[in-house]
Structures are given as structure tokens and as C-alpha cells.
Amino acid sequence: FFNKKKNKKAPMKDLKMEEESSGVEKLEPGTTFPPTFSVSEIKNKQRRHQMFMKLKQEKRKQKMQLKKKRRKEREALGDKAPPKEVPKTIENQRVFDETTVDPEDEEIAFDEGTDEFSAYFNGLTNPKVLITTSDRPRGRVVKFCEQLATVIPNAHVYYRRGLALKRIIPQCIARDFTYLIVINQDRQTPNGLVLCHLPDGPTAHFKVSSVRLQKELKRRGKAPTEHSPEVILNNFSTRLGHTIGRLFAALFPQNPQFVGRQVATFHNQRDFIFFRFHRYIFKNEKKVGIQELGPRFTLKLRSLQKGTFDSKYGEFEWVLKRHEMDACRRKFQL
Amino acid sequence: ICFLQVIWDIIGNKQFCSFKVKTKSQNFCRNEYSITGVCNRSSCPLANSQYATIREEKGQCFLYMKEIERAAFPARMWEKVRKLSKNYEKALEQIDENLIYWPRFLRHKCKQRFTKITQYLIRMRKLVLKRQRKLVPLSRKVESREKRKEEKALIAAQLDNAIEKELLERLKQGTYGDIYNFPVYAFDKALEQQDAESESDAEEEEEEDDEDVGQREFVAEDEVEESDLSDFEDMNKLKTSSDEEEQDESSEEEEEEEVQASRSKGKSPANGSLVRKKRAYVEIEYEQETESASRRRTT
């Protein structure tokens, strides 16, 4: 088949002839290529494809040989073998963020003692949450709001009758609410969340994705009870992450009721915050079983603003700038 | 005038009028100077030589008038009068004064049209003040990229494991206080055993097994006769016994520890352990049952 091709192209230029012949010679042992030859220079697609496949096979073979050799060495050494190498993951390779919080950093501890959440963490205020939507909520958004209200103790859902947020906020403050949650919708599913800590606290705007309502969960338990759940915050390591973590923590009452055995988890992984709500049971001191109740959703932080909600004149502490921040795969903000 | 009648005959009924839009029930006139949008003999701008309309540009209304005298000059046919007053009533008076001596139909229709136009202008101004819905364009590439990243992050997160680990941590640190009464001694023993295992070599474990082989049955019988008190009392009794039995004890302890360790590793399912030969598991079974009973009480 190769020979036929060669004969057909015989009357072509010399350069081509060389390439063809070298291509043919590859089948024979002990052939060499001109050093600047690469597979991509062959014009014929089928030939090129075949050459490439061969190249790949070669590479794979070499890799397998290397692997075998290494395994033999490891077995030969037995116990004295060097420890297995840890595979590289994105978490391992994460670009070091200079704003990572050191647990013993005094400055940060001082900051956190005097920021807007200090009132909550010192036990002075009890969280009271107002959940609302954008205009004319439809379908899943309504159900989502209701389920959120069951998950968060002391939460009230109010229908938004086209009121401007800037007018709602003073009213909320007057009635002692500590939190305002606005859920944005797009085609009957929630896709945005604005979380505003009320007495002039920070406002965080999130993108909401993959919402699963309680009905849609598999193997779920019964409805969440009125007990205040515990809160688990995972992987919030930078300064920004810390503020967001405290934002979430202040949603729930300070003293969880362990009788209820419910736990709400905010897990940050690669800048996505996964929210889950479970009921747990300790089977023995080494095993715990969890059962998912409650909705689940993922959040991605889009902006964090210093004061209460004010998109025009507010002072933005952090805004997601896609070009800068998404460029590196190993760099994360939270 | 009869030529108008001829025009109407042609465009109205028999032949083609390019401004006419036919629908099932009605004919509409798309001419921009038409005062009502309907195709009628009296409201056709082409077939009436004396005609007036109100048209609106950028929030301002103008009165356009067409007169017979100018029918020959199409460029000058329509006379534009600017509505100077924003005041609704004054504007109506202006219409009246301009269309004085004109047929009642046109005057009436002009005023109606003017009313409608002002109403919709008012509504437009009101809507602008209210909150506007801002449409943000999504970039498909970015969205799909984010979605994929989210899936990978979810897999990397291993949420269930993380949550379970965290809960166990909290249990160990005692944040739950006295609610869960796992026997602390057994727990510590399990911890110790884990440490001991990590230190010992494989060879030593094999030796232990050899030792135990001969003595297993003997030891097991003793333990079965004990009451359903928790393990530690048995262990105490055995420990405080004389030094002659030290070796047996130690081997027994090791065996117990092994048993507990292998149980605490979580490999043995709760009830499956019954099937196993060592009857030491029986007591552990008891504990679990009481635990589950207590749990049922609290839920």
C-alpha cells in the first residue's frame, strides 16, 4: 500500500521524494529521519495520520517500559523503596496567595474582632434573615426560597412587589433584620444571590448554579426541623475567604442545637462554594452517617461590596474580573 | 370631488394599495399620515384631499394638515404645526383653533389620537423611573467553562468525606459534650491500638498471631461469661490478676486490641461481626444496641 503510493508520487519533486522514501523506510529497521522532520510536514492526510499513530504507539511503549522498570525497582528495594510520589493536583499546585490567613496572625484577629460581624460573634445580635426575590418570582425560585427559609432558622420570606432595594433596606434595619437575601432569577430558576448584612455590613453577590430542590434529591430524609443547625465552613483560607466565611457563619444562630443533629456545610473548592444540608448520626466513635435533607446549590462569588447594596456608588472591595482572574488555572481567590 | 372617489374606488376596493394590510376581520392602513390605522373611505390620506393627523417625534406632537389647494405640490402638501404647549387642554384648544371649520370627524379623531399619544408618553416616562430589568449577555464559552470547572471541583471536593471527617473531629474534640456516650475507655484503647499498630512491624504481628492460635478458645470462653458491663471492667479484672498470667493477659489484650482495632477500622459491618468466630464481638454488639436505643429516644 505504501509502495503503491510511492510509485504514484514518483514524478514529483525531489524534496517530496525524500520525504516519501523516508516515510516508506520507516517500516524497515535502522532508518533515520532528517533531524528537522516532523509528522506535520506530510501533506497527505492519511499518511500523516498513520505516522502520527505510530509515533504515539512508540511513545506509549516507552512509557510502559519505564513504568515496568520502576515497578521492578520498587519491588526489588522492598521496604527501602522511596515513598510513592504524590500526584499533582490543582490543589497541590495552587499558586500561593499572599493573603492567606495564618491562624495565629494577630492583625487579622484584631480585624475580625472589630469588623461588622463582631457584634454577632460576641453574641450581641441574633440573626434574623429576610429572603426575597426579584420581580415576579416564578416556579422553582419560589420553592427555593421556601426551602431556604426552612433551612435557615429565623428566616422570613417576603414577596417583592417591585420595590427598590434601597427602599427596602432602611425598613429592614428598622425592623431589626440582620440579613437580606435577594434571589435573582432567569427563566424560572435562581441564578444569582445577593447577600447583604444589614446594619451597614458587606454585600456579597454570588452566581448560583446547580440548584437541587428537596424533591429532586435522591435518598433524602424528612424535612428539616426547627432546630438550629451546626455550621461547617471548609477551605476558606485567604482574607477574602475569611470574610465570606464569616458572612455565612453569621446567618445561623450562635449556639447550634445538637439535639437536632443537623449540619449546614459551606465547602469552598477552587472558588466554588458548595452548600449542603445534612442530618448526621454517630454510629460509633469512628463512623458517622449523613443523610441529605434540604436543598443544595453552588455559589461563585462575583463581587463583594463594603456597605449595603448600592451598585452605582458602592465601594467594591472585590470584583470578579474574568480576564485577570480566570487566566491562571491554579490561582484561586477564596 | 370625483377624482378622489375614483382614487378610492381603485385603492380601496378593487385594486392594489401598497399601504393596505389585510387581516381576517379588518383592513388596516399603514400610511404614516393616517389618523386612524384602519383602511376606510374617510380615513384614507390618499383618498381625502382635506386631511389632518397628529404625529409624534421624540416626545413632541405635531399637527399635520393637508389641503386641497396644495394637492398639486406634493413637497408642500403637509403643513406642520408645532404643539407648543405641554399642557393637555391648551394643546386641545390649539388643535381646535387650527382645524376650525374642518369636518367634525377629523377634528374628533385628531383629538383622540392626541390623547392616546400623550397617555403613552406619560407611561414611558413613568417606566423609566421604575426599576429597569438589565439584561446581561452571557458568553457561551465562559459559561460552559465554568460549568466544567464546577463539576471537577465537585469531584475534587469529596463533600461527604469532608463532612464526615469534620463531624468526627468535632466529636473527638468534645464539642458535643456528653450527648453521645461512647465508652471513653474503648475509644482510647482504639486510639492506642492504632498507635501501636503503626509502630510495630509486620513480623511482630505475625508472631502474635502464632501465639494466639493455641490460646484463642480458652480466652474467649472467659469473656462470654461476663455480664454485659462494658469492656473496661473485664480488662481491669484481667489486668489486676496475678503476674503469672501476664503472658496470657498480654496476648489476650493484644488479641482484644487487634479485635477492636480491626473492628474500629470500620471494615467489619456492625452485624456481620456476629458471624465471626471470636465471641468477643458479642459484647460490642450489646453496646451498639443500647446506643441505637438511646438514639431512638432522642430523635
Alpha-carbon distance values, B127 to B56, B131, B231 (Å)? 19, 8, 77
Q: What single string gives the DSSP state of each residue in A60-77? A: HHHHHHHHHHHHHHHHHH
Q: Any chain A CB within 8 A of the CB of B188? A: no
Percent of chain B with pLDDT over 90: 13
Beta bridge partners of residue B97, listed in sequence order: none
Which of A198, A159, A150 shows the shortest CA–CA distance to A177?
A198
Q: How far is A137 from A291, CA to CA, in rounded Å?
A: 30
Burial of B92 (0-12, 13-18, 19+ CB in 10 A): middle
CB-CB under 8 Å, B157 with A274: yes
Q: How far is A241 from A100, CA to CA, in rounded Å?
A: 9
Read off the C-alpha cell for B119: 397617555
- Kindly report, residue by residue over A40-61, the tens digit of the pLDDT: 888 999 999 999 999 999 999 9
Yes or no: say if A279 and A291 are a contact pair by the CB < 8 Å rule: yes
Residue B188: the pLDDT is: 65
Task: Select the residue from A194, A257, A284 to test the B interface by mutation, using most B Cβ atoms within 10 A.
Answer: A284
Beta bridge partners of residue A291, listed in sequence order: A279
Residue B75 scores a pLDDT above 50: yes
Residue A15 scores a pLDDT above 80: no
Sign of the C-alpha dihedral computed for residues A63, A64, A67 and A69 taken in this order: negative
B122: confidence class by pLDDT, cuts 50, 70, 90: very high
Residue A288: the pLDDT is: 87
Q: How far is A246 from A233, CA to CA, in rounded Å?
A: 9
Nearest to A282 among B154, B162, B171 (CB): B171
Alpha-carbon distance values, B51 to A215, B41, B71, B267 (Å)? 66, 12, 11, 96
Residue B190: the pLDDT is: 64
Relative orientation angle of helices B231-240 and B184-199, to the nearest 10 degrees = 60
- Kindly report, residue by residue over A227-263, the tens digit of the pLDDT: 888 899 988 888 888 888 888 888 888 888 888 888 9
Dump strand ranges (E) for chain B. 20-22, 27-29, 51-57, 60-66, 78-82
ipTM of the complex: 0.76
Q: Name every residue whose Cβ is closer than 8 Å to that of residue A231 and which is 6 or more positions away in sequence.
A: A248, A249, A252, A256, A263, A264, A265, A266
Please indicate whether residue A217 or residue A104 has the higher confidence score (pLDDT).
A217
Stretch B165-178: mean pLDDT, rounded?
Answer: 82
- Kindly report, residue by residue over A141-161, the tens digit of the pLDDT: 999 998 988 888 888 888 888
Task: Enumerate the residues of chain A whose CB falls inside 8 A of the CB of residue B260.
Answer: none
Q: How far is B102 from B98, CA to CA, in rounded Å?
A: 9
Least confident range of A15-24, A90-99, A174-183, B113-122? A15-24
Mean pLDDT of chain A: 81
Alpha helices in A152-279, H assignment, sequence order: 165-174, 239-249
Residue B189: the pLDDT is: 62
Residue B270 scores a pLDDT above 50: no
Largest CA distance in chain B: 140
In chain A, whose CA is at the least distance from the CA of B165?
A: A288
Alpha-carbon distance values, B247 to A168, A272, B244, B251 (Å)? 78, 57, 7, 6
Cell 426541623 sits on residue:
A225
Q: How many residues make up chain A in this entry?
A: 334
Per the rule left: phi > 0, alpha: psi between -120 and 50, beta: everything else, B180 is beta
CB-CB under 8 Å, B182 with A284: yes
Task: Enumerate the residues of chain A whose CB falls inside 8 A of the CB of residue B147.
Answer: 209
Residue A31 scores a pLDDT above 90: no
Instruction: Say whether A222 sits in a helix, a strand or coil.
Output: coil
Yes or no: say if B64 and B45 are a contact pair by the CB < 8 Å rule: no
CB-CB under 8 Å, A258 with B176: yes
Q: How far is A160 from A158, CA to CA, in rounded Å?
A: 6
Read off the C-alpha cell for B76: 408642500
Q: Are strands A316-319 and B27-29 parallel, antiparallel or unpaired?
A: unpaired
CB-CB under 8 Å, B146 with A209: yes
- Kindly report, residue by residue over A185-212, the tens digit of the pLDDT: 888 889 999 998 887 788 899 999 999 8
Task: Enumerate the residues of chain A whose CB falls inside 8 A of the CB of residue B283.
Answer: none
B213: confidence class by pLDDT, cuts 50, 70, 90: very low
Mean pLDDT of chain B: 71
Beta bridge partners of residue B53, listed in sequence order: B64
- pTM, full prediction: 0.62
Task: Enumerate the residues of chain A whose CB falls inside 8 A of the CB of residue B266.
Answer: 286-287
Task: Enumerate the residues of chain B whose CB falls inside 8 A of the CB of residue A234.
Answer: 162, 166
Residue A80 scores a pLDDT above 70: yes
Which of A16, A34, A25, A17 shows the shortest CA–CA distance to A54?
A25
Residue B211: the pLDDT is: 44
Yes or no: say if B57 and B49 are a contact pair by the CB < 8 Å rule: no
Q: Any chain B CB within 8 A of the CB of A328? A: no
Stretch B135-162: mean pLDDT, rounded?
Answer: 90
CB-CB under 8 Å, A285 with B187: yes
Residue A123 scores a pLDDT above 70: yes
Instruction: Return the amino acid letter for A180.
Output: L
Residue A177 CA, distance from chain mean position: 30
Residue B69 scores a pLDDT above 80: yes
CA distance A49 to chain B (A): 29
Task: Select the residue from B126, B165, B166, B187 to test the A interface by mutation, using most A Cβ atoms within 10 A.
Answer: B166
Q: Any chain A CB within 8 A of the CB of B191? A: no
Q: Any chain B CB within 8 A of the CB of A223? A: no
CA distance A313 to chain B (A): 17
Yes or no: say if A182 and A165 are a contact pair by the CB < 8 Å rule: yes
Q: Name every residue whose Cβ is closer than 8 Å to that of residue B152 and which is 6 or more positions away in sequence.
A: A270
Q: How far is B184 from B82, CA to CA, in rounded Å?
A: 95
Please indicate whether residue B270 or residue B47 has the higher confidence score (pLDDT).
B47
Task: Enumerate the residues of chain A whose CB falls inside 8 A of the CB of residue B171.
Answer: 282, 285, 288
Residue B254: the pLDDT is: 42
CB-CB under 8 Å, B150 with A286: no
Q: Any chain B CB within 8 A of the CB of A214? A: no
CA distance B150 to chain A (A): 7
Nearest to B298 among A259, A269, A290 (CB): A259
Residue B279: the pLDDT is: 45
Yes or no: say if A232 and B157 are a contact pair by the CB < 8 Å rule: no
Q: How far is B21 from B34, CA to CA, in rounded Å?
A: 13
Stretch A93-111: mean pLDDT, rounded?
Answer: 76
Please indicate whether residue B117 or residue A115 has the higher confidence score (pLDDT).
B117
Residue B121: the pLDDT is: 92
Task: Enumerate the residues of chain B whose CB falls inside 8 A of the CB of residue A261.
Answer: 299
Instruction: Return the amino acid letter for B275.
Output: V
Q: Any chain A CB within 8 A of the CB of B38? A: no
Cell 428598622 sits on residue:
A174
Task: Enumerate the residues of chain A whose CB falls inside 8 A of the CB of residue B160.
Answer: 290
Nearest to B166 among A232, A261, A286 (CB): A232
User: How many degrees, rounded to 5, is the angle at CA A327 between CA A326 and CA A333?
Assistant: 45
Stretch B163-185: mean pLDDT, rounded?
Answer: 77
- The distance in angstroms from the start CA to the end CA of chain B is 96
CB-CB under 8 Å, B149 with A209: no
Nearest to A298 among B145, B150, B182 (CB): B150
Q: How far is A128 from A181, CA to CA, in rounded Å?
A: 11
Task: Select the residue from B163, B263, B284 to test the A interface by mutation, using most A Cβ atoms within 10 A.
Answer: B163
Nearest to A232 among B160, B163, B298 (CB): B163
Residue B296 scores a pLDDT above 60: no
Q: What single string gives the DSSP state of each residue in B95-152? A: HHHHTTTS-HHHHHHHHHHHHHHHHHHHHHHHHHHSPPPPP-PPPHHHHHHHHHHHHH
CB-CB under 8 Å, B156 with A269: yes
Residue B44: the pLDDT is: 87
Residue B185: the pLDDT is: 52
CB-CB under 8 Å, A90 with B182: no
CB-CB under 8 Å, A298 with B266: no
B184: confidence class by pLDDT, cuts 50, 70, 90: low
Which of A321, A326, A205, A319 shows the shortest CA–CA distance to A270?
A326
Residue B271 scores a pLDDT above 70: no
